[in-house]
Amino acid sequence: MPYAPIAEGAIYYETAGRSTGTPLVLVEGGFTQMVGWPPEFVERLAEAGFHVITFDNRDVGLSTHFGGPEDLDGGYGLEDLADDVGAVLEHANIPSAHVAGRSMGGMVAQMLAIRAPERVRSLGLFYSIPGRDKRYILHGDREELNSPQPRFPLDELLANSLAAHRAFMPHGDVWGDQQWYEDETRRYVTRSYERRYSPDGAPRQWSALKRAPERLEDLKAVDVPTAVIHGRDDHVLHRCAAWDIAEAMPRAELHVYPGMGHFFPPALIPDFVRVLERTARLAERR
């Protein structure tokens, strides 16, 4: 099992696809283990010729945790999360890669491109934001993350997760497949519970996000092909963030999908793969 060393611990990662393929790092969102990426998405990327690297962000899954159940701040920031991606690439002996992230993972990808542009060939930014402008944030202050997190047995955790997904997933829209969403929720919750169930990492990642630096001005200097992907009906992060990112970045292409929220619609997975393929080709040509 590969672990990339960092200053105060290690980051667990895995690869898929041929080692000679085009390297692509997937950066998962907040409070979510690397197994949150739909298997079909990773498989299709590998079939498209990518050497796919997935990893657990610090404070989730099999990577180092920066505190215990009562610790609400791990003392790190978005910059450290970005440096962790660089540590994974270095350990895997990959000088640079295409980088795609969703939600918090998109913010980490932005920060990596700003701090270490030599590491990033292209970007895929799924439903992300470039800063803390109140126009972007629809989920409120998340007060529940300012206190120690409750722990649940697996059956109760599954029931809670399914209830939350049923409340927020689309019903009857063009991208909807309720059975897929429920099966995917069961798969992820069960797999992540088996790997390492540790909800106490969520407040520490949240603390890092609350002090994340503004990035919009810095993104103007990030000169790599970038796919900015957002749902028009995202209930967590407003689509205006995607417009601002795409306007700021010199080589960005904007993709806004009607009926899509803060999730991966199964019907759009092939399209997402094509978008990342095209963005990578633009970078490789240059």
Q: What is the pLDDT of residue 174?
A: 57
pLDDT digits (tens, 9 = 90+) for 236-256: 999 999 999 999 999 999 999
Please, what is the average pLDDT of the chain?
A: 95
Q: What is the pLDDT of residue 178?
A: 81
Give the global pTM.
0.97
Name the packing angle between helices 39-47 and 269-285 (round to 10°): 40
- The confidence band for 275, taking pLDDT boundaries of 50, 70 and 90, is very high
Question: CA-to-CA distance for 176 and 173, rounded, in angstroms?
Answer: 5
Residue from 96, 110, 93 nearest 27 by CA: 110
Mean pLDDT, to the nearest integer, of 146-158? 97
pLDDT digits (tens, 9 = 90+) for 56-101: 999 999 999 999 999 999 999 999 999 999 999 999 999 999 999 9
pLDDT cut 70: percent of the chain above it:
96
pLDDT digits (tens, 9 = 90+) for 209-235: 999 999 999 999 999 999 999 999 999
- The confidence band for 176, taking pLDDT boundaries of 50, 70 and 90, is low
State the pairing for strand pair 226-231/120-126.
parallel
pLDDT digits (tens, 9 = 90+) for 112-144: 999 999 999 999 999 999 999 999 999 889 999
> Which residues lie across from 237 on neighbouring strands?
137
- Residue 168 pLDDT greater than 90, yes or no: no
State the pairing for strand pair 9-16/50-55.
antiparallel
Mean pLDDT, to the nearest integer, of 24-35? 98
Amino acid present at 254: L
Question: CA-to-CA distance for 65 and 82, rounded, in angstroms?
Answer: 16
Amino acid present at 192: S
Q: What is the pLDDT of residue 166?
A: 77
